[in-house]
Amino acid sequence: MYGANVETAADRKAPAPVEDPALLAEFQARIDRGESIEPKDWMPARYRRQLVRMMSQHAHSEIVGMLPEGNWITRAPNLRRKMALIAKVQDEAGHGHYIYCGTETLGVSRDELVDDLLAGRAKYSQIFNYPTLTWADIGVIGWFVDGAAIVNQTVLAKASYGPYARAMIRICKEENFHKRQGFEICAVLSQGTDAQREMLQDAVNRWWWPSLMMFGPSDTDSPNSRDLLAWRIKRFTNDELRQRFVNLTVPQAQAIGVRLPDPDLRYDADTQNWVFGEIDWAEFWAVVNGNGPCNRERLAARNKAHADGAWVRQAATAYAAKRAGAPRDGGSTAAA
């Protein structure tokens, strides 16, 4: 789903290595020519580190993002909705694995990445630490959260690092399906009974502001933005992407007759933007730092799933060893 642009204090404290100016200049020239950087190419340590940070956060977000929606698979209101939701949640698992593979091309093992997530050392998008209280939440998540992901990821599909950019192309196609299935749920509820319309409005009220926070801190709080933009890891600032999302979403809300919970929302004819109110950054940082409504529940669920899957990993490893003709359990292949 979600390329979170969250940078922690620890990221900022790590010392920047001194790079060879000639190599740096050539690297920048390649980026400026629009070339793609591939895994075996020379790259500044900081470029590699920023990519590992962004890509691993993104992969973790896809995986944790399955949890709030997975909760509703057994409660989907009919077979069609259930099939669409299963397909969507499965897609998110695929996105996570794709991006873990991409991160591995930068020299980090998947085991390390998964360990970081399970131990609570890794970040993932804050949005998945909110609860899904009603069926309308599933519609609104598809509409807002996958909608925000598309805004982010369409741009990442042109990022300078080849494996990441290529992964985004397929992922964006699937995100479009996710967004449409979500918006369709909302459109149907908006035509329903009073209770269904209230349920939809309540979900919109709860998810709107956390969805705006998905784009990360304001540019004034994002000290690495300049380098990331120069290296084409990012192509637009967090605030620019957030504005694009708001501009796309307001007319959709109007089309199905739901109110966005922002008394300051107004159209500015000069800039052709929907101007929105102040984001509660204290809430954002509280959730990022582990104190959202569901942070502990999400990590506990991931740890349980990992432990429950131990036998699958053991069986797959034993099978791979058997296929390779290697001895199993320290035994000799000669006896076989």
Task: Indicate whether 1 belongs to the interface with Fe ion (CB under 5 A).
Answer: yes
Q: What's the rounded Cα separation, in Å, for the pair 230 and 28? A: 8
- Torsion sign (Cα): 269, 272, 276, 278: negative
- Taking the least distance from each CB to Fe ion, the nearer of 62 and 104 is 62
- Taking the least distance from each CB to Fe ion, the nearer of 47 and 123 is 123
Task: Indicate whether 92 belongs to the interface with Fe ion (CB under 5 A).
Answer: yes
DSSP readout, 128-176?
GGS---SHHHHHHIIIIIIHHHHHHHHHHTT-SBHHHHHHHHHHHHHHH
- Taking the least distance from each CB to Fe ion, the nearer of 81 and 178 is 178
Q: What's the rounded Cα separation, in Å, for the pair 327 and 336? A: 10
Token match 């409005």: residue?
Answer: 201
Q: Which stretch in 88-96, 119-127, 236-244, 284-292 sits in contact with Fe ion by CB under 5 A?
A: 88-96
Q: Please identify which residue in 58, 81, 178, 242 interacts with Fe ion, judged by CB under 5 A.
A: 178
- Torsion sign (Cα): 212, 216, 217, 219: negative
Q: What's the rounded Cα separation, in Å, for the pair 273 and 247? A: 6
Task: Indicate whether 155 belongs to the interface with Fe ion (CB under 5 A).
Answer: no
Q: Please identify which residue in 146, 156, 181, 185 interacts with Fe ion, judged by CB under 5 A.
A: 146
Q: Please identify which residue in 53, 58, 95, 206 interacts with Fe ion, judged by CB under 5 A.
A: 95
Cα–Cα nearest to 217, from 287, 137, 119, 133: 287
Q: Which stretch in 108-116, 178-186, 270-278, 310-318 sits in contact with Fe ion by CB under 5 A?
A: 178-186
Binding to Fe ion, residues 45-64 (CB under 5 A): 62
Q: Which stretch in 5-13, 75-83, 176-184, 267-275 sits in contact with Fe ion by CB under 5 A?
A: 176-184
Q: Which stretch in 121-129, 160-168, 173-181, 257-265 sits in contact with Fe ion by CB under 5 A?
A: 173-181
Cα–Cα nearest to 158, from 146, 167, 147: 167
Cα–Cα nearest to 211, from 63, 9, 1: 1
Q: Which stretch in 94-102, 105-113, 116-124, 208-216 sits in contact with Fe ion by CB under 5 A?
A: 94-102
Task: Indicate whether 185 belongs to the interface with Fe ion (CB under 5 A).
Answer: no
- Taking the least distance from each CB to Fe ion, the nearer of 175 and 262 is 175
Cα–Cα nearest to 263, from 251, 243, 249, 277: 277
Interface positions with Fe ion (CB under 5 A)? 1, 62, 92, 95, 146, 175, 178
